[in-house]
Protein backbone atom coordinates (compact mmCIF):
# COMPACT_ATOMS: atom_id res chain seq x y z
CA UNK A 1 0.00 0.00 0.00
CA UNK A 2 0.99 3.65 -0.47
CA UNK A 3 0.77 5.40 2.90
CA UNK A 4 1.45 8.96 4.05
CA UNK A 5 2.19 9.52 7.74
CA UNK A 6 1.52 13.01 9.10
CA UNK A 7 3.59 13.99 12.15
CA UNK A 8 7.09 12.62 12.64
CA UNK A 9 7.21 12.49 16.43
CA UNK A 10 7.45 9.23 18.35
CA UNK A 11 4.27 7.65 17.02
CA UNK A 12 4.65 8.91 13.48
CA UNK A 13 8.35 8.09 13.08
CA UNK A 14 7.89 4.58 14.43
CA UNK A 15 4.70 3.94 12.45
CA UNK A 16 6.30 5.20 9.23
CA UNK A 17 9.49 3.13 9.57
CA UNK A 18 7.68 -0.03 10.69
CA UNK A 19 5.08 0.20 7.91
CA UNK A 20 7.88 0.69 5.39
CA UNK A 21 9.71 -2.34 6.80
CA UNK A 22 6.51 -4.36 6.25
CA UNK A 23 6.69 -3.61 2.53
CA UNK A 24 4.50 -0.54 2.22
CA UNK A 25 5.56 2.58 0.30
CA UNK A 26 5.57 5.34 2.93
CA UNK A 27 5.84 9.12 2.79
CA UNK A 28 6.49 10.92 6.08
CA UNK A 29 5.07 14.45 6.38
CA UNK A 30 5.94 17.14 8.92
CA UNK A 31 5.84 20.94 9.14
CA UNK A 32 9.30 20.90 10.72
CA UNK A 33 11.90 20.85 7.91
CA UNK A 34 14.60 19.63 10.29
CA UNK A 35 12.70 16.40 10.93
CA UNK A 36 12.12 15.94 7.22
CA UNK A 37 15.81 16.50 6.46
CA UNK A 38 16.87 14.04 9.17
CA UNK A 39 14.57 11.33 7.89
CA UNK A 40 15.58 11.99 4.27
CA UNK A 41 19.18 11.27 5.31
CA UNK A 42 18.10 8.01 6.94
CA UNK A 43 18.23 9.36 10.48
CA UNK A 44 15.31 8.93 12.87
CA UNK A 45 13.92 12.20 14.26
CA UNK A 46 13.49 10.53 17.67
CA UNK A 47 15.61 8.44 20.02
CA UNK A 48 14.07 5.02 20.44
CA UNK A 49 15.33 1.44 20.61
CA UNK A 50 15.88 -0.02 17.09
CA UNK A 51 14.37 2.98 15.31
CA UNK A 52 17.74 4.34 14.12
CA UNK A 53 18.79 1.18 12.30
CA UNK A 54 15.30 0.54 10.98
CA UNK A 55 14.93 4.06 9.60
CA UNK A 56 18.29 3.88 7.86
CA UNK A 57 17.37 0.58 6.23
CA UNK A 58 13.96 1.60 4.87
CA UNK A 59 15.15 5.01 3.64
CA UNK A 60 18.10 3.37 1.87
CA UNK A 61 15.77 0.86 0.20
CA UNK A 62 13.46 3.64 -1.01
CA UNK A 63 10.48 2.39 1.02
CA UNK A 64 10.38 5.57 3.15
CA UNK A 65 10.88 9.19 2.21
CA UNK A 66 9.80 12.50 3.76
CA UNK A 67 8.38 15.84 2.67
CA UNK A 68 6.84 19.04 4.02
CA UNK A 69 4.43 19.17 1.07
CA UNK A 70 0.96 17.97 2.10
CA UNK A 71 -0.44 17.97 -1.43
CA UNK A 72 2.46 15.91 -2.77
CA UNK A 73 2.04 13.34 -0.01
CA UNK A 74 -1.72 12.99 -0.50
CA UNK A 75 -1.46 12.66 -4.28
CA UNK A 76 1.25 10.02 -3.96
CA UNK A 77 -0.65 7.82 -1.50
CA UNK A 78 -3.99 6.10 -0.98
CA UNK A 79 -4.20 6.30 2.81
CA UNK A 80 -3.03 8.94 5.29
CA UNK A 81 -2.15 8.16 8.88
CA UNK A 82 -2.49 11.22 11.15
CA UNK A 83 -0.07 11.04 14.08
CA UNK A 84 0.16 14.67 15.20
CA UNK A 85 0.22 15.57 18.90
CA UNK A 86 -2.79 16.32 21.08
CA UNK A 87 -1.17 17.97 24.12
CA UNK A 88 -3.01 19.18 27.20
CA UNK A 89 -4.18 22.77 27.21
CA UNK A 90 -3.52 24.95 30.25
CA UNK A 91 -6.84 23.92 31.84
CA UNK A 92 -6.19 20.20 31.25
CA UNK A 93 -8.44 19.94 28.22
CA UNK A 94 -7.35 18.26 25.01
CA UNK A 95 -5.73 20.58 22.48
CA UNK A 96 -6.92 19.71 18.96
CA UNK A 97 -5.14 22.58 17.20
CA UNK A 98 -2.69 20.34 15.29
CA UNK A 99 -5.46 17.90 14.32
CA UNK A 100 -7.64 20.72 13.03
CA UNK A 101 -4.81 22.19 10.97
CA UNK A 102 -3.95 18.84 9.38
CA UNK A 103 -7.63 18.14 8.65
CA UNK A 104 -7.93 21.54 6.93
CA UNK A 105 -4.81 20.92 4.82
CA UNK A 106 -5.81 17.40 3.84
CA UNK A 107 -9.39 18.46 3.10
CA UNK A 108 -8.15 21.17 0.75
CA UNK A 109 -6.13 18.61 -1.23
CA UNK A 110 -9.02 16.13 -1.29
CA UNK A 111 -11.13 18.79 -3.02
CA UNK A 112 -9.05 18.38 -6.18
CA UNK A 113 -8.49 14.63 -5.93
CA UNK A 114 -10.52 12.52 -8.35
CA UNK A 115 -10.11 9.22 -6.51
CA UNK A 116 -10.84 7.67 -3.13
CA UNK A 117 -8.48 8.51 -0.28
CA UNK A 118 -8.72 7.28 3.31
CA UNK A 119 -7.86 9.55 6.26
CA UNK A 120 -6.96 7.61 9.41
CA UNK A 121 -6.58 9.37 12.75
CA UNK A 122 -4.01 7.67 14.97
CA UNK A 123 -3.64 10.57 17.43
CA UNK A 124 -5.10 10.17 20.91
CA UNK A 125 -8.38 12.09 21.06
CA UNK A 126 -11.51 12.12 23.16
CA UNK A 127 -14.73 10.44 21.95
CA UNK A 128 -16.60 12.71 19.58
CA UNK A 129 -13.49 14.50 18.29
CA UNK A 130 -13.48 12.69 14.95
CA UNK A 131 -17.20 12.78 14.14
CA UNK A 132 -18.05 16.15 15.69
CA UNK A 133 -14.92 18.15 14.83
CA UNK A 134 -12.58 16.57 12.30
CA UNK A 135 -15.00 15.05 9.80
CA UNK A 136 -16.91 18.35 9.46
CA UNK A 137 -13.59 20.12 8.78
CA UNK A 138 -12.61 17.56 6.14
CA UNK A 139 -16.04 17.82 4.50
CA UNK A 140 -16.06 21.62 4.55
CA UNK A 141 -12.58 21.96 3.04
CA UNK A 142 -13.04 19.20 0.45
CA UNK A 143 -16.66 19.81 -0.47
CA UNK A 144 -17.09 16.03 -0.28
CA UNK A 145 -18.95 13.62 1.98
CA UNK A 146 -17.05 11.37 4.39
CA UNK A 147 -17.76 7.69 3.90
CA UNK A 148 -19.09 8.36 0.41
CA UNK A 149 -16.39 10.26 -1.49
CA UNK A 150 -13.47 9.74 0.85
CA UNK A 151 -12.82 7.44 3.79
CA UNK A 152 -12.30 8.08 7.49
CA UNK A 153 -11.21 5.76 10.29
CA UNK A 154 -9.68 5.95 13.75
CA UNK A 155 -6.75 3.69 14.60
CA UNK A 156 -5.33 4.38 18.09
CA UNK A 157 -1.79 3.26 18.80
CA UNK A 158 -0.65 1.19 21.76
CA UNK A 159 3.07 1.93 21.61
CA UNK A 160 5.23 2.47 24.69
CA UNK A 161 8.15 4.86 24.42
CA UNK A 162 11.33 2.81 24.79
CA UNK A 163 9.81 -0.31 23.23
CA UNK A 164 7.58 1.14 20.51
CA UNK A 165 9.18 -0.73 17.60
CA UNK A 166 8.74 -4.02 19.42
CA UNK A 167 5.18 -3.05 20.34
CA UNK A 168 4.37 -2.21 16.72
CA UNK A 169 5.35 -5.66 15.50
CA UNK A 170 3.87 -7.46 18.51
CA UNK A 171 0.74 -5.48 19.39
CA UNK A 172 -1.69 -6.59 22.11
CA UNK A 173 -4.55 -5.74 19.73
CA UNK A 174 -5.46 -3.65 16.70
CA UNK A 175 -8.41 -1.29 17.08
CA UNK A 176 -10.16 0.19 14.06
CA UNK A 177 -12.93 2.72 14.50
CA UNK A 178 -14.81 2.62 11.23
CA UNK A 179 -17.02 5.16 9.54
CA UNK A 180 -17.19 3.07 6.38
CA UNK A 181 -16.18 -0.53 5.74
CA UNK A 182 -13.95 0.31 2.77
CA UNK A 183 -11.69 2.45 4.97
CA UNK A 184 -11.67 -0.09 7.78
CA UNK A 185 -10.64 -2.78 5.30
CA UNK A 186 -7.72 -0.59 4.20
CA UNK A 187 -6.57 -0.05 7.80
CA UNK A 188 -6.80 -3.78 8.52
CA UNK A 189 -4.72 -4.49 5.40
CA UNK A 190 -1.88 -2.31 6.73
CA UNK A 191 -1.44 -4.65 9.69
CA UNK A 192 -2.39 -8.01 8.20
CA UNK A 193 -0.26 -10.79 9.66
CA UNK A 194 0.52 -9.03 12.94
CA UNK A 195 -0.46 -10.85 16.16
CA UNK A 196 -3.32 -9.82 18.44
CA UNK A 197 -7.06 -9.57 17.94
CA UNK A 198 -8.50 -7.01 15.54
CA UNK A 199 -11.47 -4.99 16.81
CA UNK A 200 -13.61 -3.16 14.25
CA UNK A 201 -15.80 -0.90 16.34
CA UNK A 202 -17.69 2.41 16.18
CA UNK A 203 -15.38 5.42 16.02
CA UNK A 204 -16.20 6.64 19.55
CA UNK A 205 -15.36 3.20 20.99
CA UNK A 206 -11.95 3.31 19.31
CA UNK A 207 -11.29 6.81 20.64
CA UNK A 208 -12.29 5.81 24.18
CA UNK A 209 -10.32 2.54 24.11
CA UNK A 210 -7.02 4.43 24.11
CA UNK A 211 -8.04 6.48 27.16
CA UNK A 212 -9.23 3.35 28.95
CA UNK A 213 -5.82 1.75 28.46
CA UNK A 214 -3.78 4.73 29.60
CA UNK A 215 -5.96 5.55 32.59
CA UNK A 216 -5.85 1.91 33.70
CA UNK A 217 -2.07 1.86 33.37
CA UNK A 218 -1.79 4.98 35.49
CA UNK A 219 -4.25 3.50 37.97
CA UNK A 220 -2.18 0.31 38.29
CA UNK A 221 1.04 2.23 38.89
CA UNK A 222 -0.56 4.47 41.52
CA UNK A 223 -2.20 1.44 43.17
CA UNK A 224 1.11 -0.44 43.40
CA UNK A 225 2.94 2.62 44.67
CA UNK A 226 0.38 3.33 47.41
CA UNK A 227 0.49 -0.32 48.50
CA UNK A 228 4.27 -0.06 48.55
CA UNK A 229 4.15 3.05 50.74
CA UNK A 230 1.73 1.44 53.21
CA UNK A 231 3.72 -1.81 53.23
CA UNK A 232 6.94 0.00 54.02
CA UNK A 233 5.29 1.88 56.87
CA UNK A 234 3.91 -1.37 58.30
CA UNK A 235 7.17 -3.29 57.89
CA UNK A 236 5.94 -5.46 54.99
CA UNK A 237 8.07 -6.45 51.99
CA UNK A 238 5.95 -4.93 49.21
CA UNK A 239 7.58 -6.89 46.40
CA UNK A 240 6.93 -10.23 48.07
CA UNK A 241 3.35 -9.13 48.74
CA UNK A 242 2.85 -8.14 45.08
CA UNK A 243 4.18 -11.54 43.97
CA UNK A 244 1.34 -13.11 45.94
CA UNK A 245 -1.14 -10.60 44.52
CA UNK A 246 -0.08 -11.23 40.91
CA UNK A 247 -0.36 -15.00 41.30
CA UNK A 248 -4.15 -14.69 41.32
CA UNK A 249 -5.12 -14.65 37.64
CA UNK A 250 -8.74 -15.55 38.37
CA UNK A 251 -9.71 -12.35 40.16
CA UNK A 252 -6.74 -9.95 40.33
CA UNK A 253 -4.99 -9.98 36.95
CA UNK A 254 -8.02 -10.95 34.91
CA UNK A 255 -11.24 -9.59 33.39
CA UNK A 256 -12.99 -10.13 36.75
CA UNK A 257 -14.82 -7.02 38.02
CA UNK A 258 -13.87 -5.03 34.90
CA UNK A 259 -17.37 -4.50 33.55
CA UNK A 260 -19.44 -1.38 34.20
CA UNK A 261 -22.28 -2.22 36.57
CA UNK A 262 -23.66 -1.16 39.93
CA UNK A 263 -21.74 -0.11 43.03
CA UNK A 264 -19.87 -2.74 45.04
CA UNK A 265 -20.73 -3.79 48.58
CA UNK A 266 -20.70 -6.81 50.88
CA UNK A 267 -18.98 -7.65 54.10
CA UNK A 268 -15.40 -7.48 52.74
CA UNK A 269 -14.60 -4.80 50.17
CA UNK A 270 -15.93 -1.69 51.98
CA UNK A 271 -14.68 -2.88 55.38
CA UNK A 272 -11.18 -3.72 54.17
CA UNK A 273 -10.79 -0.54 52.17
CA UNK A 274 -11.72 1.49 55.25
CA UNK A 275 -9.34 -0.57 57.37
CA UNK A 276 -6.31 -0.14 55.13
CA UNK A 277 -6.94 3.58 54.59
CA UNK A 278 -7.21 3.99 58.39
CA UNK A 279 -3.94 2.11 58.87
CA UNK A 280 -2.25 4.35 56.30
CA UNK A 281 -3.57 7.47 58.04
CA UNK A 282 -2.25 6.25 61.39
CA UNK A 283 1.16 5.69 59.78
CA UNK A 284 1.07 9.20 58.24
CA UNK A 285 1.04 7.76 54.71
CA UNK A 286 -1.06 9.67 52.18
CA UNK A 287 -3.03 7.32 49.91
CA UNK A 288 -5.26 9.57 47.77
CA UNK A 289 -6.13 6.79 45.34
CA UNK A 290 -7.25 4.21 47.89
CA UNK A 291 -8.94 6.82 50.07
CA UNK A 292 -11.13 7.86 47.15
CA UNK A 293 -12.34 4.39 46.13
CA UNK A 294 -15.28 4.39 48.54
CA UNK A 295 -16.26 7.98 47.65
CA UNK A 296 -16.18 6.91 43.98
CA UNK A 297 -18.47 4.00 44.84
CA UNK A 298 -20.82 6.42 46.61
CA UNK A 299 -21.00 8.63 43.51
CA UNK A 300 -22.04 5.61 41.44
CA UNK A 301 -24.86 4.89 43.88
CA UNK A 302 -25.97 8.52 43.56
CA UNK A 303 -26.11 8.13 39.76
CA UNK A 304 -28.60 5.29 40.18
CA UNK A 305 -30.79 7.38 42.47
CA UNK A 306 -30.66 10.27 40.01
CA UNK A 307 -31.90 7.99 37.22
CA UNK A 308 -34.87 6.97 39.37
CA UNK A 309 -35.76 10.51 40.42
CA UNK A 310 -35.48 11.73 36.82
CA UNK A 311 -38.47 9.55 35.86
CA UNK A 312 -40.77 11.70 38.01
CA UNK A 313 -42.66 8.57 39.08
CA UNK A 314 -43.19 7.39 42.65
CA UNK A 315 -44.04 3.66 42.58
CA UNK A 316 -40.80 1.71 42.43
CA UNK A 317 -40.23 -2.01 41.93
CA UNK A 318 -36.75 -3.03 43.07
CA UNK A 319 -35.54 -6.37 41.69
CA UNK A 320 -32.61 -7.57 43.79
CA UNK A 321 -31.53 -6.71 47.33
CA UNK A 322 -28.47 -8.78 48.30
CA UNK A 323 -25.04 -7.35 47.55
CA UNK A 324 -24.50 -9.76 44.65
CA UNK A 325 -26.39 -12.60 42.89
CA UNK A 326 -26.56 -16.04 44.48
CA UNK A 327 -26.38 -14.92 48.11
CA UNK A 328 -28.69 -13.60 50.80
CA UNK A 329 -25.97 -11.41 52.33
CA UNK A 330 -27.39 -7.92 52.82
CA UNK A 331 -24.43 -6.42 54.70
CA UNK A 332 -23.38 -3.17 53.02
CA UNK A 333 -25.39 -4.10 49.94
CA UNK A 334 -25.65 -1.08 47.63
CA UNK A 335 -29.18 -2.21 46.78
CA UNK A 336 -30.14 -1.99 50.45
CA UNK A 337 -28.63 1.51 50.53
CA UNK A 338 -30.57 2.37 47.38
CA UNK A 339 -33.82 1.09 48.91
CA UNK A 340 -33.21 3.00 52.13
CA UNK A 341 -32.59 6.28 50.33
CA UNK A 342 -35.62 5.88 48.07
CA UNK A 343 -37.79 5.23 51.11
CA UNK A 344 -36.32 8.28 52.79
CA UNK A 345 -37.36 10.33 49.78
CA UNK A 346 -40.92 9.08 50.09
CA UNK A 347 -41.01 6.59 47.24
CA UNK A 348 -43.55 3.74 47.32
CA UNK A 349 -41.32 0.68 47.17
CA UNK A 350 -41.82 -3.04 46.59
CA UNK A 351 -38.84 -5.43 46.54
CA UNK A 352 -38.24 -8.89 45.05
CA UNK A 353 -35.19 -11.06 45.65
CA UNK A 354 -35.69 -14.84 45.61
CA UNK A 355 -32.52 -15.35 47.66
CA UNK A 356 -33.69 -13.18 50.55
CA UNK A 357 -36.28 -14.48 53.01
CA UNK A 358 -36.64 -12.76 56.38
CA UNK A 359 -37.26 -16.08 58.10
CA UNK A 360 -33.81 -17.32 57.06
CA UNK A 361 -31.82 -14.23 58.01
CA UNK A 362 -29.78 -14.66 61.19
CA UNK A 363 -26.88 -13.06 63.05
CA UNK A 364 -25.09 -10.00 61.71
CA UNK A 365 -26.99 -10.20 58.45
CA UNK A 366 -30.36 -9.88 60.20
CA UNK A 367 -29.12 -7.19 62.59
CA UNK A 368 -27.82 -5.17 59.65
CA UNK A 369 -31.08 -5.23 57.70
CA UNK A 370 -33.25 -4.57 60.74
CA UNK A 371 -31.21 -1.43 61.39
CA UNK A 372 -31.37 -0.21 57.81
CA UNK A 373 -34.81 -1.35 56.65
CA UNK A 374 -36.86 -2.08 59.78
CA UNK A 375 -40.07 -2.46 57.75
CA UNK A 376 -38.57 -4.82 55.19
CA UNK A 377 -41.32 -7.40 55.83
CA UNK A 378 -43.83 -4.93 54.39
CA UNK A 379 -41.67 -4.22 51.34
CA UNK A 380 -40.33 -7.66 50.45
CA UNK A 381 -42.33 -10.25 48.53
CA UNK A 382 -41.49 -13.57 46.94
CA UNK A 383 -43.92 -12.85 44.08
CA UNK A 384 -42.14 -11.16 41.18
CA UNK A 385 -45.48 -10.45 39.48
CA UNK A 386 -46.65 -8.47 42.52
CA UNK A 387 -43.62 -6.18 42.34
CA UNK A 388 -44.00 -5.83 38.58
CA UNK A 389 -47.69 -4.93 38.89
CA UNK A 390 -46.87 -2.33 41.55
CA UNK A 391 -44.06 -0.63 39.67
CA UNK A 392 -44.18 2.46 37.54
CA UNK A 393 -40.38 2.22 37.50
CA UNK A 394 -38.54 -1.11 37.52
CA UNK A 395 -35.09 -0.79 39.10
CA UNK A 396 -33.24 -3.90 37.99
CA UNK A 397 -30.42 -5.16 40.20
CA UNK A 398 -30.87 -8.84 39.38
CA UNK A 399 -30.92 -11.03 36.29
CA UNK A 400 -32.81 -13.92 37.85
CA UNK A 401 -34.87 -15.80 35.22
CA UNK A 402 -38.14 -14.78 36.91
CA UNK A 403 -37.10 -11.13 36.73
CA UNK A 404 -36.13 -11.35 33.06
CA UNK A 405 -39.39 -13.11 32.27
CA UNK A 406 -41.42 -10.39 34.00
CA UNK A 407 -39.52 -7.61 32.23
CA UNK A 408 -40.25 -9.24 28.87
CA UNK A 409 -43.95 -8.52 29.41
CA UNK A 410 -45.24 -5.50 27.47
CA UNK A 411 -45.99 -2.30 29.36
CA UNK A 412 -45.15 1.36 29.65
CA UNK A 413 -43.05 1.09 32.80
CA UNK A 414 -39.73 2.87 32.98
CA UNK A 415 -36.68 0.65 33.47
CA UNK A 416 -33.53 1.68 35.34
CA UNK A 417 -30.98 -1.02 34.54
CA UNK A 418 -28.16 -1.49 37.08
CA UNK A 419 -26.84 -4.79 35.68
CA UNK A 420 -26.97 -4.43 31.87
CA UNK A 421 -29.86 -6.68 30.92
CA UNK A 422 -29.25 -9.25 28.16
CA UNK A 423 -31.40 -7.17 25.79
CA UNK A 424 -29.94 -3.82 26.91
CA UNK A 425 -28.76 -2.92 23.41
CA UNK A 426 -32.28 -3.23 22.01
CA UNK A 427 -33.82 -1.49 25.02
CA UNK A 428 -31.53 1.53 24.62
CA UNK A 429 -33.54 2.55 21.56
CA UNK A 430 -36.82 2.51 23.50
CA UNK A 431 -38.32 5.31 25.53
CA UNK A 432 -38.21 4.88 29.29
CA UNK A 433 -35.05 2.75 29.47
CA UNK A 434 -31.92 4.01 31.23
CA UNK A 435 -28.70 2.05 31.70
CA UNK A 436 -26.45 3.03 34.58
CA UNK A 437 -23.19 3.06 32.62
CA UNK A 438 -24.11 2.16 29.07
| pLDDT tens sequence across 161-197 | 889 999 999 999 999 999 999 999 999 999 999 999 9
Q: How far apart are CA 237 and CA 227, in angstroms?
A: 10
CB atoms within 10 A of CB 408: 9
Of 150, 145, 131, which Cα lies nearest the Cα of 77?
A: 150
Choice between 46 and 329, residue whose per-residue pLDDT is larger: 46
CA 179 to chain centre: 19
Q: Which DSSP helix (H) or strand (E) runs through 71?
A: helix 70-76
Neighbouring residues of 40: CB distance < 8 A, sequence distance ≥ 6 = 59, 65, 66
**Please, what is the average pLDDT of the chain?**
93
Neighbouring residues of 427: CB distance < 8 A, sequence distance ≥ 6 = 415, 417, 421, 433, 435
pLDDT digits (tens, 9 = 90+) for 350-377: 999 988 865 556 566 666 677 777 777 7
Q: How far apart are CA 146 and CA 134, in angstroms?
A: 10
pTM for this prediction: 0.89
Question: Angle of helix 269-282 relative to helix 293-310, nearest 10 degrees?
Answer: 140
What is the percentage of the chain residues whose pLDDT exceeds 70? 97
Q: How far apart are CA 192 and CA 177, in angstroms?
A: 16
Per-residue confidence (pLDDT) for residue 9, from 0 to 100 = 93
CB atoms within 10 A of CB 93: 9
What is the percentage of the chain residues whose pLDDT exceeds 90? 85
Using pLDDT thresholds of 50, 70 and 90, give the confidence band for residue 94.
confident
Mean pLDDT of 274-284: 96
Kind of pairing, strands 151-154 and 173-178? antiparallel
Alpha-helix residue ranges (DSSP H) falling in 154-199: 164-169, 181-190
Q: Which residues are the active-site residues?
A: 268
Kind of pairing, strands 380-381 and 393-396? unpaired
Per-residue confidence (pLDDT) for residue 354, from 0 to 100 = 86
CB atoms within 10 A of CB 436: 19
Amino acid sequence: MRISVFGLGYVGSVSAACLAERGHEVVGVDVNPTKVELLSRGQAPVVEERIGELTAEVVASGALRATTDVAEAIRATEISLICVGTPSAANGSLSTAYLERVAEEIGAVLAGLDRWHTVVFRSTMLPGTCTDLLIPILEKESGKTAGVEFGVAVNPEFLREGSSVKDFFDPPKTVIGELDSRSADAVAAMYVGLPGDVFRVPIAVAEMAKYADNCFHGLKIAFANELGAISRALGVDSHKMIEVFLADTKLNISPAYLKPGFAFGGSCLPKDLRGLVYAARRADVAVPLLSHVLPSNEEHLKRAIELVTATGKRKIGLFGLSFKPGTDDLRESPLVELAERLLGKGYDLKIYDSNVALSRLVGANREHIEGRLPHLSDLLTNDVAEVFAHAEVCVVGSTEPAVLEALAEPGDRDVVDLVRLPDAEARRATQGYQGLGW
